[in-house]
Structures are given as structure tokens and as C-alpha cells.
């Protein structure tokens, strides 16, 4: 394959908390300054901004806070959390097209103290910032009001088809919490759990999702700096973007994905894997460490299968065999994932992948050279230089 | 997104969110009829409704009444968070209708512990706010 054209040269984040006590714009600005400092660049170098349709920070306010002189590219990615890696594809397009030279990718949320995902809030309009949630209108009159409830309908079918139990999901959560326990940035730092802890946690959506299967509602921000691979050579610690892709499939919704024929299969993840692996020639065996969007544990299982790391129905065995652990064949979500570290919309999985390839992760996987980040319908493969 | 935090005591389920593209569907359910969109040109049945047929691109369609008979394709017992209009756990279901359409709904009149995938169901109607009604499902007795 060709030498990658685009690189991630800086990462930054705020603390992850249950109450930031400051605005999303401030959180984003703090994370961006940290990422630029990490890259050895300044706000004067930035000419591109990429975020998400559901991000609350306005570009004009961010530029005003940061003092960026001039923006040449700005774009936003839809599809909610499933779109969370699409920002790297946008940033790559900006750089390779000549649209911008240095692109900042960011996400700021106050998912705990502002718009909480886990509340019983009844929408009165059919769309939420073009993020794939228009479809929730078909769930609202039925009290199916949260991402966990939407997704649980797919998960119950998955459990039924393949004989998967809540304890099977729990084994993955125990591993995620083990990683989080030794990650000082994680919400659950120092707090590992047992399978019994998982099994005794209360139901959110029975039989698929217990409390400990849910990602954290987190306040915080994450930013990355993207530029050309050639320019990246002058920065202290670049990581190359070897592949990026998006696969949004006909009739597939975001969290309320209820209308595809086979709800146990993530068709978007299957198509994404074709782009990331089959088209590029990168092998699944090349992946040393994987970050897989784990808003709820069943989504992790269904992506392991959709991405082709195991066959349909085999994720429970894959997990039970310890494959996701530090000594496994696919160390996964080594920061503790969205369940253990926090939920910055999945962009904190991308920064963890960068840390692994730099050799600076809290739970460092020895010799990690190639990392996958999947959000089920957007994803990237990153490579150490 | 505009939204409201619900206050305890509002005991009727939320009204459907009406749009130009879905109002024909909900207009039928308010009348106690359960139907889905059929393309006038190619006859495709489809749900959720949409302004254009994705196969033939016709803009003409109407709501054709369905038998309201199907099976539970999947379900979930929703325990948290709680909304004052519902009894918990809420039985959320995806129903595969005999005509090949899938809808999200509730199963009513059944012990949550008894719910299984594959159970036969039939449509019923439940009142919702603003003098509306939405299709829900009950278990259907099947004669051998």
C-alpha cells in the first residue's frame, strides 16, 4: 500500500469528570491548546476545524477563544457516536485536498451535567442536530427513550440467536474495568470489578444491559491535531493514518437501528471492515491493539463479529478466552473504554490508540505498531512510524 | 433538540411527533386503523414512511391497512430511566408483521417475565396525549 499521506501529530484532553464546572467551549479550547502544545504547534498554525453535528461548541466561539487567525476548512460528521472516527476521514480529506494544512479535531461534552443521555426526556421535535436520531420519533410514544433502550432491542435478538448471556457481556466489562483500574485518567481508576459485581448490578434494559454495561456520562473534551505526513516529520511524535473509512448503510439507523433484516449483524461494521482491511491490504492479524466503541457492552460484541475478528456468535468465546486482555491476541480498549474511562463520544478511544503507538499508554501493549479504532460505521487504522 | 423534562403525574403516554413525512401514518392510528405506507407506482410497502419511494422514486403513496398480526422479533424490558406515563418495566418490542414490515411498539397486558421472542401478537391501540392514539400489541391466541 501507499505511504500514508496524513498523520496525527498532537493529542490533548481535559480531565474526565462528572461535573466540569465550565462551558463546553472552554473545555474544547483547553483540550485544543494541550493538543497543539503536544504537537509543537500554535493556534497560528491551525486552519481547519472538524467536529460532530452533535457537538455544542460553535466554531466561531472556539476561534474567538483560541485566537486562530483564519480558518480554511470546517466540517462536521453526523451519525452520533457511530460517526466518532469520521472526523479523521474529514481531516484527512482536508489535508490531502489542500483545503487546510493543520486541522484540529475536537469534541467537548457535558454529558453528565448538561444534556444527559440516560434521562427519560421526551423529544418534541423529530431531529437532534442531524445525528441519526430522527428515527427516535418511532420510539418516543412507547417509552423507548434512551440510547440504551434503543440498542437493547438489537442486543436481545443477538442474545437469542447465539445463546449469549448477560454474564458473557460481564466478562468483557470485567476486562474493561481492569484496564480502567490502572489508568489514572479513567473514571473508574482504582475500582476493578468482579463478574459477580456485574451480575448484581441493576437492570437498565433486561436481558441485555445492566448498569455496569453502560458507558459513563462524562464531562470533558478531547482534541487531536492532523497534518500532512511530510509536515508531521518535523513534529515530536507523529502517528500515521494508514486507513480511514465510513460505511452508512441503507435503512441502518444510529442507536435505534431496528429495520435492517438481521439485527444481530452490524452491517455498517461489515462494510467498514471491507474498506479498512480488504481495500487497503492491511490484515486483521496486523492489528496489535484495538479500540472499539463500547457505549454498551453488546455493541462491542457485535463489532468484534462485524469487523471480522471472529465469526457471528463467537464473540462470547473470544472474550471468555481473554483475547481482549493485555496478553490476548487483540488487546482492546486499553484505557478502560467508554465504559471504564469515560465517554467523550468515542474520541477518547482515538487518543488512546495514539498513546499506544507512541508507547505512552497507561496500560502499554509492548511493541504496538498498528491500531484499529472502530465506532461501528466509521473507523481508522493508525500506524507507528 | 427541543425537549421537555417530564413531571410526575402526566400519566398519558407521549403523543407521536408529527412531521410532514409521517403525519399520514399517525392520522390513521388516531382513527384506530393500523397501516403502513405503500408506493402507488411500484406497490412497495415500507416503514418508517418517507416522502419518496427508494426503489422507483415515486412521490405518490398512501396508507394501506394491515391485518395487525405478527410475531415478536425482539424485546427489551426497560427498567431505567422512568417516565411517569409508563408502568415499569416497560415491555419494548419489535414486531415483524405478516406483511413483512417491522415496527417498534409496546406489548401490553402481559407479565414482563413471560415475554419471549417469537410470540404471536396482534395490534391494539393505546391513548396518547393530544387526543391521539398509537398502535401497541397484545398476545394473540393461536389455535392449533
Nearest to A108 by CA among A63, A154, A42, A57: A57
The residue in chain B having the minimum alpha-carbon distance to the alpha carbon of residue A262 is B73
Q: Quote the pLDDT of residue A168.
A: 98
Q: Which residues of A touch B71 (CB under 8 A)?
A: none
Nearest to A82 by CA among A151, A21, A157: A151
Q: Which residues of A touch B136 (CB under 8 A)?
A: 142
A115, containing H or E segment: none
B1, B79, B134 ranked by CB distance to A141: nearest:
B134
Question: Which of residues 292 through 331 in chain A touch B, CB cutoff 8 A?
Answer: none
Q: Report residue B121: phi and psi, to 5°.
A: -135, 160
A216-256 residue pLDDT tens: 889 999 999 999 999 999 999 999 999 999 999 999 888 88
C-alpha distances in Å from residue A143, one per residue of A119, B102, B128: 11, 18, 11
Contact A143 B2 (CB under 8 A): no
Q: Quote the pLDDT of residue A117.
A: 72
Domain boundaries, chain A: 6-115+215-384
Q: Quote the pLDDT of residue A112.
A: 77
Q: Quote the pLDDT of residue A3.
A: 60
Q: How far apart are the first and last CA of chain B?
A: 49
A129, A139, A146 ranked by CB distance to B81: nearest:
A146
The residue in chain B having the minimum alpha-carbon distance to the alpha carbon of residue A161 is B117
pLDDT of residue B121 exceeding 80: yes
B32-56 residue pLDDT tens: 999 999 999 999 999 999 999 999 9
For B102, other C-beta atoms within 10 Å of its C-beta total: 17
In angstroms, the separation between the Cα of residue A265 and the nearest Cα of chain B is: 14
Contact B17 A121 (CB under 8 A): no
What the block records as the C-alpha cell of A326 is 493485555
Q: Quote the pLDDT of residue A255.
A: 81
Q: Respond yes or no on whether ipTM tops 0.90.
A: yes
Q: Quote the pLDDT of residue B1.
A: 36
Question: Which of residues 107 through 136 in chain A touch B, CB cutoff 8 A?
Answer: 115, 118-129, 133, 135
Partners of B96 in the β-ladder: B71, B102
Q: Is A242 exposed, middle or buried (0-12, 13-18, 19+ CB in 10 A)?
A: buried
Q: Which residues of A touch B117 (CB under 8 A)?
A: 156-157, 160
The residue in chain A having the minimum alpha-carbon distance to the alpha carbon of residue B79 is A204
Q: Quote the pLDDT of residue B7.
A: 53
A343 is catalytic: yes
B74-94 residue pLDDT tens: 999 999 999 999 999 999 999
Is residue A370 within 8 Å of residue A282, measured between CB atoms? yes
- Angle between helix A59-66 and helix A24-39 axes, rounded to 10 deg: 60
The CATH superfamily holding the domain A6-115+215-384 is Thiolase/Chalcone synthase (3.40.47.10)
Mean pLDDT of B55-67: 97
DSSP string, B1-57: --EEEPPTT--SBPPP---TTTHHHHHHHHTT--EEEEETTT--EESS--SS-TTT-
Q: Quote the pLDDT of residue B9.
A: 46
Q: Which residues of B touch A139 (CB under 8 A)?
A: 92, 104
What the block records as the C-alpha cell of A21 is 464546572
B1-17 residue pLDDT tens: 345 555 544 589 999 98
B124-135 residue pLDDT tens: 999 999 999 999
Distance from C-alpha of A5 to C-alpha of A75, rounded to nearest angstrom: 20
Nearest to B81 by CA among A174, A323, A121: A121
B3, B73, B92 ranked by CB distance to A149: nearest:
B92
In angstroms, the separation between the Cα of residue B141 and the nearest Cα of chain A is: 23
Q: Quote the pLDDT of residue A256.
A: 84
B1, B4, B5 ranked by CB distance to A128: nearest:
B1
DSSP string, A155-195: HHHHHHHHT--HHHHHHHHHHHHHHHHT-TTSTTTT----H
Q: Report residue A87: phi and psi, to 5°.
A: -60, -30
Residue with cell 393530544: B130
CA A366, A371, A377: angle at the middle one, nearest 5? 155
Interface size between A and B, measured as CB pairs under 8 A: 138
Contact B74 A160 (CB under 8 A): yes
Residue with cell 462485524: A306
Chain B residue set in contact with A, beta carbons under 8 Å: 1-6, 13-17, 19, 22, 47-48, 54, 73-83, 85-86, 89-90, 92-94, 102-106, 117, 128, 134, 136
Q: Quote the pLDDT of residue B144.
A: 61
Q: Quote the pLDDT of residue B93.
A: 98
Q: Quote the pLDDT of residue A111.
A: 78
Sign of CA dihedral A153, A156, A162, A168: positive
Provide the H-helix boundaries in chain A.
24-39, 59-66, 86-96, 147-162, 166-181, 195-200, 229-232, 267-273, 297-306, 315-320, 337-340, 347-358
Nearest to A101 by CA among A73, A77, A76: A73
Q: Report residue A229: phi and psi, to 5°.
A: -60, -35
Contact B16 A263 (CB under 8 A): no
Q: Quote the pLDDT of residue A1.
A: 45
Q: Which residues of B touch A157 (CB under 8 A)?
A: 73-74, 94, 117
Q: Are strands A102-110 and A48-52 parallel, antiparallel or unpaired?
A: parallel
Is residue A361 within 8 Å of residue A284, measured between CB atoms? no
Partners of A296 in the β-ladder: A214
Q: Is the backbone peptide bond immediately before A115 cis, with ω within 30 degrees of 0?
A: no
Per-residue pLDDT of chain A (385 residues; tens, 9 = 90+): 456 799 999 999 999 999 999 999 999 999 999 999 999 999 999 999 999 998 999 999 999 999 999 999 999 999 889 999 999 999 999 999 999 999 999 999 987 777 667 777 676 666 555 555 567 889 989 999 999 999 999 999 999 999 999 999 999 999 999 999 999 999 999 999 999 999 999 999 999 999 999 998 899 999 999 999 999 999 999 999 999 999 999 998 888 889 999 999 999 999 999 999 999 999 999 999 999 999 999 999 999 999 999 999 999 999 999 999 999 999 999 999 999 999 999 999 999 999 999 999 999 999 999 999 999 999 999 999 9
In angstroms, the separation between the Cα of residue B103 and the nearest Cα of chain A is: 8
Amino acid at each position: 500500500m501507499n505511504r500514508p499521506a496524513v498523520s496525527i501529530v498532537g493529542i490533548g484532553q481535559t480531565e474526565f469528570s462528572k461535573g466540569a464546572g465550565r462551558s463546553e467551549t472552554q473545555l474544547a479550547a483547553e483540550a485544543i491548546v494541550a493538543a497543539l502544545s503536544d504537537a509543537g504547534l500554535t493556534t497560528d498554525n491551525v486552519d481547519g476545524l472538524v467536529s460532530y453535528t452533535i457537538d455544542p461548541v460553535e466554531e466561531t466561539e472556539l476561534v474567538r477563544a483560541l485566537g486562530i487567525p483564519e480558518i480554511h476548512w470546517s466540517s462536521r460528521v453526523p451519525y452520533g457516536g457511530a460517526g466518532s472516527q469520521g472526523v479523521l476521514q474529514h481531516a484527512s480529506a482536508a489535508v490531502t485536498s489542500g483545503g487546510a494544512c493543520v486541522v484540529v479535531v475536537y469534541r467537548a461534552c457535558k454529558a453528565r451535567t448538561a444534556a444527559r443521555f440516560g434521562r427519560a426526556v421526551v423529544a418534541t421535535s423529530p431531529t437532534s442536530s442531524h445525528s441519526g436520531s430522527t428515527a427516535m420519533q418511532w420510539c418516543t410514544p412507547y417509552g423507548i427513550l434512551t440510547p440504551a433502550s434503543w440498542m437493547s432491542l438489537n442486543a436481545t435478538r443477538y442474545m437469542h440467536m447465539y445463546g449469549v448471556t448477560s454474564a458473557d457481556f460481564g466478562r468483557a466489562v470485567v476486562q474493561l474495568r481492569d484496564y480502567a483500574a490502572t489508568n489514572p485518567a479513567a473514571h473508574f481508576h482504582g475500582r476493578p470489578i468482579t463478574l459477580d459485581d456485574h451480575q448484581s448490578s441493576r437492570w437498565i434494559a433486561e436481558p441485555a444491559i445492566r448498569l455496569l454495561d453502560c458507558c459513563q456520562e462524562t464531562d470533558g473534551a478531547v482534541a487531536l491535531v492532523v497534518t500532512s505526513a511530510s509536515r508531521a516529520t518535523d513534529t515530536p511524535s507523529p502517528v500515521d493514518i494508514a486507513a480511514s473509512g465510513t460505511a452508512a448503510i441503507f435503512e441502518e439507523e444510529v442507536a435505534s437501528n431496528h429495520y435492517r433484516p438481521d439485527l444481530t449483524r452490524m452491517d455498517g461494521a461489515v462494510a467498514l471492515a471491507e474498506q479498512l482491511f480488504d481495500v487497503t491490504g492491511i490484515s486483521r492479524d496486523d492489528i496489535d491493539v484495538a479500540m472499539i466503541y463500547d457505549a454498551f457492552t453488546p455493541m462491542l460484541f457485535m463489532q468484534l463479529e462485524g469487523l471480522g475478528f471472529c465469526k457471528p456468535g463467537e464473540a462470547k468465546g473470544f472474550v471468555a478466552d481473554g483475547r481482549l486482555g493485555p496478553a490476548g491476541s487483540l488487546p482492546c480498549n486499553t484505557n478502560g473504554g467508554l465504559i471504564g474511562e469515560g465517554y467523550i463520544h468515542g474520541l477518547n478511544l482515538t487518543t488512546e490508540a495514539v498513546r499506544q503507538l507512541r508507547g505512552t499508554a497507561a496500560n502499554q501493549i509492548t511493541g504496538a505498531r498498528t491500531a484499529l479504532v472502530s465506532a461501528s460505521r466509521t473507523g481508522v487504522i493508525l500506524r507507528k512510524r | 433538540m427541543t425537549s421537555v423534562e417530564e413531571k410526575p403525574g402526566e400519566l398519558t403516554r407521549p403523543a407521536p411527533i408529527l412531521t410532514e413525512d409521517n403525519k399520514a401514518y399517525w392520522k390513521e392510528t388516531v382513527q384506530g386503523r393500523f397501516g403502513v405506507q405503500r408506493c402507488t407506482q411500484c406497490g412497495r410497502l415500507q416503514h418508517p414512511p418517507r416522502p419518496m419511494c427508494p426503489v422507483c422514486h415515486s412521490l405518490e403513496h398512501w396508507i394501506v391497512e394491515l391485518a395487525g398480526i405478527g410475531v415478536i422479533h425482539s424485546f427489551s424490558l426497560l427498567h431505567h430511566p422512568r417516565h411517569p406515563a409508563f408502568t415499569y418495566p416497560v415491555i419494548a418490542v419489535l414486531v415483524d408483521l405478516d406483511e413483512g414490515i417491522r415496527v417498534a411498539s409496546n406489548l401490553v397486558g402481559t407479565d414482563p417475565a413471560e415475554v419471549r421472542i417469537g410470540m404471536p401478537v396482534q395490534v391494539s391501540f393505546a391513548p396518547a396525549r393530544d387526543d391521539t392514539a398509537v398502535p401497541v400489541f397484545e398476545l394473540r391466541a393461536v389455535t392449533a
